Structure 1
């Protein structure tokens, strides 16, 4: 059950009549279609005209049906005992699946045992890692290799690198490749991203983070790297002692609200140097390398924007904050005050780096680098679950990506990314009954993706009015994390 989402009365056999079906795979639209659902599967997609028998009929009125959305970088299960508000916001925004970026042994155990929470309308957990690689569990080459083996044994879908060195990252990557488990995440400051691609890294998050990817596109690359622009880290233990794992996760959680509050003068200088010496030819060469080696990118532009504009009213006074749990807002506001105390020059460098991130995203897209949409929602300041995926679409469009590319990044590309190509991400017979009905054509403008007339999740249908009621209930008792 859910505190916010009431069970749908439209489920079982559902007949979605007279819609325009949009196929992200080839960008085609087919008008006058009936989508028939039984249980959690689509059973047919045919021309409108047949009589609906023993079915709930939803009149599409020519609106546009698209596959429901996936957020490929989230932390929804950071609070596994209280995901209801977050999941409800995701449903209201058409988000039906996610990749959990901060796992644990306990989370993997709960998934194996089938005890993860599943309130009404809950999204699908598409993939999760084990514990983040940090100096505690990956402080040496041997420890990194051992941790990868442990996570493989425990059933993790991938290993997430977080706070490693170039040496320990590459050791973990080599072992992951040997075992057949994917490794992705954050590149360490002392690692050339080309080494990561050549080594077979699965995904790079947040365009780095930091300056490492941008150094590779600089005409003064050696000088940028020589700045040693490593972000300040909390004092993480390097020896496993009782309770150390919990201590590390508390430290990581506190830093993750907005890592930019720890930006050093050296890092700020590195951003300015890299941005001033940007070399488009080198950026294109890097993009071509990523494309050749299928080095996925999850830019999370909304995440880097909330970090680098951490005290901006568009985030600190966002009216959608009314859906967030009070404890979250207190942490966000504390972080905004800390960000505001950074030197003007540091905040200026962070703001100035935004244009470079947009430019790099477009360069990668033009080079054919595979990309998925993600937000880093849940624990990150200024990011409202569900809504933030649409914010991400806005920023991807700001970078110059076209509407079809954006639609693919949240539908068909996540399926390919997760090795489930053809299993979801389209509206076709036999696929999951997860779709969004839009009032406007998403191939004309990306903003159509937020013009939601209704959402079908797992074969249950919620109309716009019912989704608005969900939002009203969350606002009345905020509980999203």
Structure 2
């Protein structure tokens, strides 16, 4: 860890010259830099032009600092804002961006300062432009294009053109869904590499995990395809009986095949987006009526919550989510998750929000709790939401840590998140694009959104 030291002369120069700008001075904080596990205790951070300009150790010799935009952390902790890298922004089909803008506030209120939306729509391109320009408050936005799936892809040639069209339209990423055939996948892969756009998503059954990795999947969502890759070679999967994500077949998994898959994943540099909370809430055995009562459901429209209840209850009535059926599958997923992690395959924080009972922003804390329960350390969990997403996007020199010159996007919390993950659930405030948003403002926006969806 490199210590940051400044001479008294430099400090005085900084104070008297720079602090008159319309920027932000955050003082009396402890910094979780994410450049290793060490915490910089009792420091100040000066934010200028949306970047971290100076990081200053506060000692008895440090001159007193003041600034018209000064935030006194009073011993709080700051850490790089979290990145939720599997979201689904609402679509503004009718021209209304209300639900989109509310989702953005839900992320901010939970310390999520970057999102990767994984099912694109033309309305998202304009939204991203306005958000990243600071016209609409919200996290920084990356967006995938519309889905490549069995209905949208009809041939290798058409798939290749679809890649070119999405690149030209300004999308950041391609999203693969089930139904893509192997020859179509190779066409998508070749064209994506040609035009320079990453791709990833589900692993289509006709493609399989080994071909998906070989094609250049940048990320595998939900750890999809790995279980299928561990099944007996002569097993024919019948989707009508195998259950959601083939969970009924978990008893036939051959774990001795996993080392070869891990080796290929590492060689390809593929990232994993685990979405543990999606499976815990959507395909888990906890009843729909229990999740319906979760406090954060009040921030979404009632009809959407009812739709989620109906979807899960349909599976419950069919006997698909009995504990004796689901528990072994969830246990396998945790085992797979930790095996991939311990092999040093990079993970990106992802919860798949809003999906069944995963409310934007709030769901990332459910994901964090499940990662911790599975055995991942607090530091490694924070890496999945900061350092690794920055590396994924090739921007590790610009964000993902709290360092001079990097983007001023960080969250203030009461306690050290490396020791207490739950402290991240209630930010005291966030700095996004160099702008301070207080905890009071975040709560006021939550109250407004709750009122918008007040149940009659």
- 1:435 maps to what in 2? 410
For the structure 1 residues 325 and 270, does the alpha-carbon distance in structure 2 shift closer, same or farther, using more than 3 Å as the test? Answer: closer
Equivalent pair of 2:25/2:71 in contact (CA under 8 Å): yes
Deviations 1:154-182 (A, max 9, x none): 22222111132333223312221233221
User: Please, which of 418, 424, 429 is the counterpart of residue 399 of structure 2?
Assistant: 424
Cα displacement string for residues 314-363 of structure 1 (whole angstroms, at most 9, x for unaligned residues): 42221211111223223223223322222357775344311111111111
Per the TM alignment, residue 269 of structure 1 is displaced from its structure 2 partner at its CA by 10
Unaligned stretches of 5+ residues in structure 1:
1-10, 230-263
Mark the runs of 5 or more structure 2 residues left unpaired by the alignment.
1-20
2:154 to 99, 124, 139: 139
Contact 2:91 2:121 in 1 (8 A): no
Cα deviation per residue 1:2-27 (whole Å; 9 max; x = unaligned)? xxxxxxxxx94222112111121322
The 3 A distance-change label for structure 1 pair 114 and 345 is closer
Residue deviations 1:67-92 (CA, integer Å, cap 9, x gap): 11111111124347222221111111
Aligned mates of 1:114, 1:30 — CA distance in 2: 35
Partner-residue secondary structure (3-state), 1:131: coil
Q: Is the CA contact (8 Å cut-off) linking 1:308 and 1:351 kept in structure 2?
A: no
Q: Deviations over 1:92-139 (max 9, x none)?
A: 11111111111134544x3697599966531111x2222211234312
The corresponding residue for 2:198 is: 182
Structure 2 CA distance for aligned equivalents of residues 44 and 269 of structure 1? 49
3-state SS, counterpart of residue 53 of structure 2: strand
Q: In structure 2, what is the equivalent of residue 368 of structure 1?
A: 344
Contact 1:269 1:349 in 2 (8 A): no
Matched residue, 2:102: 85
- Report if aligned partners of 2:156, 2:187 keep a CA contact under 8 Å in 1: yes
**Aligned with residue 70 of structure 2, among 57, 61, 66:** 57
Query: How many aligned positions are there?
Result: 425
User: Distance in 2 between the 1:465 and 1:96 partners?
Assistant: 17
Are 1:104 and 2:125 counterparts? Answer: no
CA offset at residue 443 of structure 1?
1.6
For 1:365 and 1:105, locate their aligned partners in 2 and report how far apart those are by CA, in whole Å.
Answer: 35
Residue in structure 1 matched with residue 12 of structure 2 by the alignment: none
Partners of 1:287 and 1:368 within 8 A in 2: no
How many Å separate the matches in 1 of 2:209 and 2:421?
Answer: 31
Equivalent pair of 1:85/1:478 in contact (CA under 8 Å): no
Equivalent position of 1:335 in the other structure: 311
Q: Distance in 2 between matches of 1:478 and 1:105?
A: 26
Q: Per the alignment, do residues 187 and 334 of structure 1 end up closer, same or farther by CA in structure 2, a change over 3 Å counting?
A: same
**Aligned-partner SS, 2:145:** coil
Give the root-mean-square deviation of aligned CA atoms: 2.6
* TM-score (structure 1 length as normaliser): 0.81
Shift of 1:375: 1.7
Decide which of 213, 220, 226 is 2:226's aligned counterpart.
213
> Is the Cα contact below 8 Å between 2:390 and 2:396 reproduced in 1?
yes
Distance 1:473 1:26 in 2: 38
Distance 1:389 1:71 in 2: 7
Equivalent residues of 1:12, 1:459 under 8 A apart: no
Q: Is the 2:159–2:184 Cα contact (8 Å) retained in structure 1?
A: yes
Distance 1:47 1:173, change over 3 A: same
CA contact (8 A) 1:65 1:437 kept: yes
Distance in structure 2 (CA, Å) of the matches to 1:440 and 1:114:
33
Partner of 1:222 in structure 2?
Answer: 234
Corresponding residue to 1:203 among 186, 195, 219: 219
Residue 353 of structure 1: aligned partner: 329
Residue-by-residue CA offset, 1:380-428 (whole Å, 9 max, x unaligned): 1201111111111111112211111110111111110011112111112
Q: Distance in 2 between matches of 1:123 and 1:68?
A: 9
Of 291-300 and 153-162, more deviation after overlay is shown by: 153-162
| 1:194 paired residue among 181, 196, 210 | 210
Work out which structure has the larger RCO, using CA pairs closer than 8 Å and 6 or more positions apart in sequence: 1
1:452 aligns with 2:427: yes
Query: Within 2, Cα distance between the matches of 1:184 and 1:270?
Result: 20
State the partner residue of 2:247. 271
C-alpha contact 2:185 2:215 (8 A) present in aligned 1: no
Give the C-alpha shift of residue 221 in structure 1.
4.1
Q: Distance in 2 between matches of 1:78 and 1:282?
A: 41
Q: Which residue does the alignment assign to 1:153? A: 168
- SS of the residue 1:168 aligns to: helix
Name the CA distance, whole Å, in 1 between partners of 2:170 and 2:207: 28
What's the secondary structure of 1:176's corresponding residue? helix
Matched, 1:70 2:83: yes
Query: Residue 33 of structure 2 contacts residue 403 of structure 2 at CA under 8 Å; is this kept in 1?
Result: no
Query: 2:17 is matched with which residue?
Result: none
Q: CA deviation at 1:268?
A: 6.2
